[in-house]
Chains A and B, each alone.
Chain A
C-alpha cells in the first residue's frame, strides 16, 4: 500500500490531453513539494517535474505539474506514442522521522 495514491492505469489517443492525479496528506503533499518521474519499462526513472511545477531542461512543455492542498496532478498534452510509460509521484513525508514516499505508479497507455 503506497502512501501516495495514484490510479493504476490511464489511457489516451495521440494528440489528446491526459491528467494523472496523485493524492496524499498533510504530512507529505500538503506540506512540501511534489515531484513526478517517468519510467519506460526496463529503464530507470527520469525526473519530469520538480517542486510542483518546474521542468528540468530537456523536458518538453507538453508535461506540466500542479498542486492544490493535499493533491497533485501531472498533465500531458499532445499525447505521443513514446509517452507510454509508468508515471510516479513523489514527496517528502515528515511523519516517522521523515522519509521519501512514492505513489504506486500509473501505467499510461497510448491507444
Chain B
C-alpha cells in the first residue's frame, strides 16, 4: 500500500530556504512511469501546483515559482525533496506530496495519491 509522508520544519524565516521531504513507502520510487510532485494550499485558499520530477531526471515547475524551486528524487532513501528559496509570508501553506500516474507526454500524468500534508509557516 503506497504511503506518502511529508516532513520538515514547521516554521521558516523570511528570505530563508524551505526544505521538505516526502518519504515514499510501499512503492518503488524508481519506476519510470511515475512522477512525484508537490502541491501547496495557503490557509483558506485553493490548490497551487509547485512542480513534479521523475527518478530519471525529468522535471516540470510552475512558471511562477520556477526560479526558486528544486524538486529531486533520492532512490537510496525513497524520498522526494522540495527546496523553495527566498520565502515570504505568501509561501505559508500546507504542502502536499503526491504521486503522478499516466503515460506518454507529461501532460497526461495526474496526481492520484496524496500525502496528508505538512504545515509550513513563514514568519520571523
Residue pair B116, A101 in contact (C-beta under 8 Å): no
Nearest-CB residue, chain A, relative to B114: A44
- CB-CB under 8 A from A51, the residues of chain B are 110
Contacts of B113 in A (CB 8 A): 47
A95 closest partner in B (C-beta): B63
Bitwise, B91-124 to A at CB < 8 A (1) or not (0) is: 0000010000000001110111111110000000
Give complex CA distance A90, B109 in Å. 12
| Docked pose: A73 CA to B62 CA in angstroms | 25
Q: Which A residues between 89 and 109 are near B, CB-CB below 8 angstroms?
A: 90, 92, 94, 96-105
Name the residue among B47, B49, B107, B115 with the largest chain A CB count within 10 angstroms. Answer: B47
Q: Is A56 a contact of B46 with CB atoms below 8 Å?
A: no
**Count the A residues whose beta carbon is within 8 Å of the partner chain — how many?**
27
Q: Which residues of B contact A94 (CB under 8 A)?
A: 107
Q: Given A2-B46, A88-B47, A102-B46, A35 and B110 touching (CB < 8 A)?
A: yes
Contact B117 A44 (CB under 8 A): yes
Is the C-beta of A68 less than 8 angstroms from some C-beta in chain B?
no
Interface assignment of A45: CB less than 8 Å from any CB of chain B: yes
A90 touching B108, Cβ below 8 Å: no
Q: When each residue 23-56 of chain B gets 1 if its CB lies under 8 Å from chain A and 0 otherwise, what string results?
A: 0000000000000000100000011110000000
Report the minimal beta-carbon distance from B77 to chain A, rounded to whole angstroms.
22
A64 to B77 CA separation, bound complex (whole angstroms): 38
User: B52 — nearest CB in chain A belongs to which residue?
Assistant: A100
A98 & B117 in contact (Cβ 8 Å cutoff): no
Residues on B lying within 8 angstroms of A by beta carbon are: 39, 46-49, 60, 62-63, 96, 106-108, 110-117
7 other A-B residue contacts (CB within 8 Å) besides A44-B96, A102-B46? A33-B110, A50-B110, A90-B110, A94-B107, A99-B62, A100-B62, A104-B46
